[in-house]
Amino acid sequence: MGKDVIVACDFASRQQTMEFLDKFQGAKPFVKIGMELFYAEGPQIVRDIKARGHKIFLDLKLHDIPNTVMKAMRVLSELDVDMCNVHAAGTRAMMEAAIKGLTRADGSRPMLIAVTQLTSTDQESMERDLLIERPIDEVVMHYAKTAADAGLDGVVCSPLEAGKVHSHCGQGFVTVTPGVRFAGGDTGDQKRVMTPAQAKKAGSDYIVVGRPITAAPDPVAAYERCVVEFVD
C-alpha cells in the first residue's frame, strides 16, 4: 500500500485554490476537494486540477437511495477522480450500488471509501438523535466491516482507530485519516490529533492535512515536512 499525503483544499473559490496550487512547482500533491469548492465551482474545477497533474479525492459523502447513488457515481467515475466516498449509513446495498456505478467498462474504477460516524457525532447525539445505543467504537467498526463486505476499499477514520480498523477489516483495507497536526502546532478545532510521524506508526495509509499546510507561511515546506514524516 503506497502511503500518501492528501492536501485538503478547503477554499471557497477557483482563484484561491489555483493560487495555492501554483506554489507547488515540483511535486504534485494528492488534493482533496470538498463540498464547498465543488458546489461553488462545479465539476470543471475537478477537471482543471486533474489536468495539472494532481490526484483527486472528491469528498462529497454521498448518501441516498442505491439507484441515485449508482447514477451519481457513474458521473464521478467519468470525471476521472482517484478517490471518492459515501456514508456507510446508506447501507450495504447503497455501497454495492456505488461500486457498480463507479466501475468503468474496462473494469477500472476510482477508490471508494466510507464515512462511518462523523467525528462531530458523539455517543450522546447518536443515542438521542439516531436511536443507536451501542458503544460508538462498536458502531464505527461494524460500519467499517459492512463497507469492507460491500467491496469498498477503506474508510475515513481517526489515526487513533487505524490499527483497529486494519485488524477488523484486513491490512489491505485502507485508512484515510484527518486530524493531523505538527508537533507543537496549533490544533484548531481538531481535538484528537496525531503528528504525521505518529499517524504513520499507527498504520494510517493516507493522511488528510488541511490548515497545517494551507495556512502555513510556506505551504510547500509544510507539505514536504508531512511527506518526510509520513511517507519517506
Residue closer to ligand C5P by CB (options 36, 78) is 36
**220 Cβ partners below 8 Å, 6+ apart?**
23, 24, 26
Residue (76 or 209) nearer to ligand C5P, CB: 209
Q: Residue number with the shortest CB distance to ligand C5P? A: 210
**Spatial contact of 175 and 166, defined as CB atoms under 8 Å apart:** yes
What grid cell was written down for 30? 494528492
Q: Does 208 bind ligand C5P (CB under 6 A)?
A: yes
| 8 near ligand C5P, rule: CB under 6 A | yes
Please give the Cα distance from 79 to 76 (Å, whole number).
5
- Our finding on whether 203 is near ligand C5P (CB under 6 A) is no
The string of DSSP codes covering 100-120 is HHH--TTS---EEEEE-S-TT
Site string for ligand C5P, 163-202 (x = CB under 6 A): ---------------xx--------x-x------------
4 binds ligand C5P (CB under 6 A): no
Nearest to 11 by CA among 148, 167, 149, 213: 213
Candidates 22-30, 122-130, 208-216, 224-232; binding stretch for ligand C5P (CB under 6 A): 208-216
C-alpha cell at 161: 482507530
Helix (H) or strand (E) holding 207, with range, is strand 206-209
> To the nearest whole angstrom, how small is the minimum distance from the Cβ of residue 211 to ligand C5P?
3
- Give the footprint of ligand C5P on this chain (CB under 6 A): 8, 10, 34, 119, 156, 178-179, 188, 190, 208-212
